[in-house]
Amino acid sequence: MTPGANRNCAGVVYVHKEDNMLRKFALASIMLIALNTAFAASNKNSIQVKGSDTMVNLGQAWAEKYMEKNPTDFVAVTGGGSGTGFSSLISGTCDIAMSSRNIKEKEVALAKQKGINPNEIKVALDGLAVVVNPANPVSRLTLDQLAGIFTGRISNWKEAGGKDEKIVILSREVNSGTHVYFKEHVLRRNDPNSKEEFAPGALMLSSSQAIADELAQNSSAIGYYGMGYISAKQKAVAVAKDDKSEYVEPKIENVVNGKYPISRPLFLYTNGVPQGLVKKFVDFTLSKEGQDIVLATDFVPINR
């Protein structure tokens, strides 16, 4: 083979790489365009619901049941995250935003500018479980200890009543509402001036399932996720507000009666007071049937 032929061969690889890169960015731009245009304004008998990834399964279960009862109506549910839901509500490309956090002042201001008036409706509760491997002797922790562990001040299990082992922190990626909630309510204890952050050494995993899998095989790991993901392969620890309070297990009844300290409300946001089809759907989610679906998807109902 001549050197020229070889040059060609290298050239192929070269182009292939560039092509890969191009594809990556093309994808990113397609995603951006899709954000703006795909969920175009709704017509009379269809509504768009968008937002929190935590709530996608719940939203879809609601939509399926609702459409079964009202075959002429159409409800489309998509995820993307709480922030994505708010930006679609503000830009008028969805009718209902699902969110696992309250709307931020910045977002309200932006909405007002666009003539949108966000209206908050609490539809369910979600308990965040702190989870360890079943082989870990630690089975209860205070919020202070949790903050210490996840910020890296407590780095060995023996400081929290366990074996002499380095603690491996598992966290969700920063795009997750669960990550944000845990940081604000456990690490920063709801203090807006607090500068606490997850330890830089915390492993960032891309899904709750990935955290559950790693916990199942790693005896020195600790992680957090929605109560729905707890299984026999992991052990959820009981949590207390401080060392004088009672340690509470992450169970549905403890979230309902407000004893469990790490639980959060889940919301739907609409533009102004819901009307027409949007009202019909929101009323359905709050009905007995809707709240049964909440329970069936491992969240905690608010109307029992």
Partner 1 sequence: MRKFKEFIIEKLILFCGLASILFVVLIFLFLLKEGLAVLKTVSPFGFLSGKSWYPISDPPQLGILPLILGSLMVTAGAALISIPIGVACAVYIAEVAPAKTKEILKAGIELLAAIPSVVLGFIGMVTLVPLIKNLFHLPTGLTALSGSIMLAFMAMPTIVSIAEDALYSVPKSYKEGAFALGATHWETIWRVMLPAASSGILAAVMLGIGRVIGETMAVMMITGNAAVIPNSILVPVRTLTATIAAEMGEAVVGSEHFFALFAVGIVLFIISFFINVTADLFLHKRQS
| Of positions 60, 84, 88, 297, contacts partner 1 by CB under 8 A | 84
Distance (Å, whole) CA 43 – CA 53: 25
Closest CA to 148 of 208, 196, 192: 196
Nearer residue to partner 1 within complex by CB, 53 or 255: 53
- Among 60-68, 143-151, 159-167, 262-270, the segment contacting partner 1 (CB under 8 A): 159-167
Phi first, then psi: what are they for 271, rounded to 5°?
-85, 105
- For the bound state, the minimum distance from the C-beta of residue 205 to partner 1, rounded and expressed in Å, comes to 7
Q: How many CA atoms lie within 13 A of 120 on its CB side?
A: 12
Closest CA to 298 of 47, 144, 124: 124
| Of positions 165, 191, 243, 283, contacts partner 1 by CB under 8 A | 165
Decide: residue 302, CB within 10 A, 0-12 exposed, 13-18 middle, 19+ buried.
middle
Q: Which tokens go with 281?
A: 């759907």
Applying the rule CB under 8 A, the residues between 13 and 72 that interact with partner 1 are: 13-15, 17-18, 20-22, 24-25, 28, 31-32, 35
Asked if residue 189 binds partner 1 (CB under 8 A), the reply is no
Using an 8 Å Cβ cutoff, are 258 and 300 in contact?
no
| Of positions 134, 137, 161, 201, contacts partner 1 by CB under 8 A | 201
Q: Which tokens go with 221?
A: 């790991």
Nearer residue to partner 1 within complex by CB, 223 or 274: 223
> Which residues lie near partner 1 (CB under 8 A)?
1-7, 9-10, 13-15, 17-18, 20-22, 24-25, 28, 31-32, 35, 80-81, 83-84, 87, 165-168, 173-176, 180, 195, 197, 200-206, 214, 217-218, 220-221
